[in-house]
Structure 1
Amino acid sequence: MLRYVLLAVFVGVLHADVCKQPQGRICEVDVYNCCDNNFGMALNLTKCNGNLWDRVNCYRAEIENMFGTSVDGGLTVCSAWSDWMKCLGRTLQDCESVKFHVMQGANSGQAINIFTVYSQISFLCGPGLDTYVNNDGTIRNVFINYATQLQRCRDTFSNNVNTNWENRCADFRELIGCYQLPFQTGAGIEGGWWGCEYERSGVTAWLPECSEQCTATNNNIRAAEELPQ
């Protein structure tokens, strides 16, 4: 495994810009843009164009495809992610925040979406990595075989929250159950928990008041088309 990580780091270094060292803890736009450019180059995200808030869904799709294609692909993402964190240093938290992206011109929904994707990559490359690597490919297959279903889960949640904010925590419970279903179907109980945690990590980052936990006996496991509208 280490061989793959070192190879990804070496290839990334060959093409990376040298970004200046950030000062303090406040995100600096020029440093952020340099680090983001290196992240995109390391993963060859050439089809993801435009402002970050316009291309973040493309980022998510491409990254999930890399995780779904092979362990090598997942480890390449995590190598680039490690470089991203080092590049931003002490400004990482501010640079990933909803506030920073709103200040750069994103609306609240776009900024939340960006923050969600950052939080999910942190799970993929942090507490979720061992399970992903050791799951014999079944978790990877879910990203490929159930991509449309997972997108429907997110779209349904987004539409419901935008329609009735007061019901957000109930919608959140439905969301993680919706995400758990394809992973549990394709990768068993452990895979179901992993898929639930993957989506939960992204949403609780900006909805901390919704504290639903992921369990194998989640009563909200159901397909997107079965969710209340």
Structure 2
Amino acid sequence: MLLWTCLLASLFIGFSTAADICPTPTIATCDPMVYDCCDNNFSNALNLTTCNNLPDTFSRVECYRTQMESMFGNSIDGGLNVCAAYSDWTRCLGVSLLSCESIKFHIQQGLTSGQAINVYTVYSQMAFLCGPGLDTYVNNDACVRNVFNVYNDQLARCRATFSANINNNWNNRCQDFRELLGCYQMPFQQMCGKEVGWFGCEYERSGITAWLPECSEQCFANNS
């Protein structure tokens, strides 16, 4: 893993020097101007310019998710580039990171609660992919990339089904959450084994568990 750590560190340096200089946050409350500056750096670093013309943060971040998952699917360098850009994003926002990624902030910026939750979910998934999940991705990169490529539409349907179900019956949300995790874990586990099955499950769980704390679902290597 030392080689990958050094490679990722070198990517971080490259991304950092190319970014515009944004004001350094001095308080924990998110400043929308700083957010926009850091978001612009993130988009430019990954060449997500096609997302920039979309009308609101929700649309842009959903576009980011699609393109970043494609990068993770295309090559290990693509995945490491995403993590380098996300690392710069976290450093750019500094002490205001939690506020800027929060559901509350995005509602204050005009998103609906559902849109704000989806935006928060994407940020949380990036934190997992580039943190606890990175070793699994690097050690199983070819297979993980294949799942992202082959099953991208199926994974999107897992999310859409979950959203529709909780909108129709909020009281059944924990059961719906459990089914969502199984839906995500299955293709990763069937194609790549139990460890990568956990990776797929935890990737989705990490983005949702914070706004469904009453649901105690966990990911294990033998969930499916």
Q: What TM-score does the superposition give when structure 2 sets the normalisation length?
A: 0.93
| Structure 1 residue aligned with 2:42 | 39
What amino acid is the match of 2:30? C
2:10 maps to 1:18: no
1:28 to 27, 31, 35: 31
2:90 maps to 1:79: no
Deviation at 1:205, TM superposition (A): 2.0
2:146 maps to 1:141: yes
Identity over aligned pairs, percent: 61
| Structure 1 residue aligned with 2:115 | 110
- Number of aligned pairs? 219
2:190 maps to 1:185: yes
Deviation at 1:186, TM superposition (A): 1.4
Partner SS state of residue 137, structure 1: helix
Deviation at 1:215, TM superposition (A): 2.1
Q: Which has the higher helix share?
A: 2
Counterpart contact for 1:15–1:41, Cα < 8 Å: no
List alignment gaps of at least 5 residues for structure 2: none
What amino acid is the match of 1:52? T
Deviation at 1:2, TM superposition (A): 4.5
Deviation at 1:91, TM superposition (A): 0.5
Deviation at 1:190, TM superposition (A): 1.1
Deviations 1:10-69 (A, max 9, x none): 543454211011121100011111001101111110111322111221111111111111
Counterpart contact for 1:4–1:72, Cα < 8 Å: no
What amino acid is the match of 2:210? A
Deviations 1:74-108 (A, max 9, x none): 11111111111111111000000000000000010
Could you tell me how far apart the structure 2 residues matched to 1:164 and 1:136 are?
Answer: 37
| Structure 2 residue aligned with 1:168 | 173
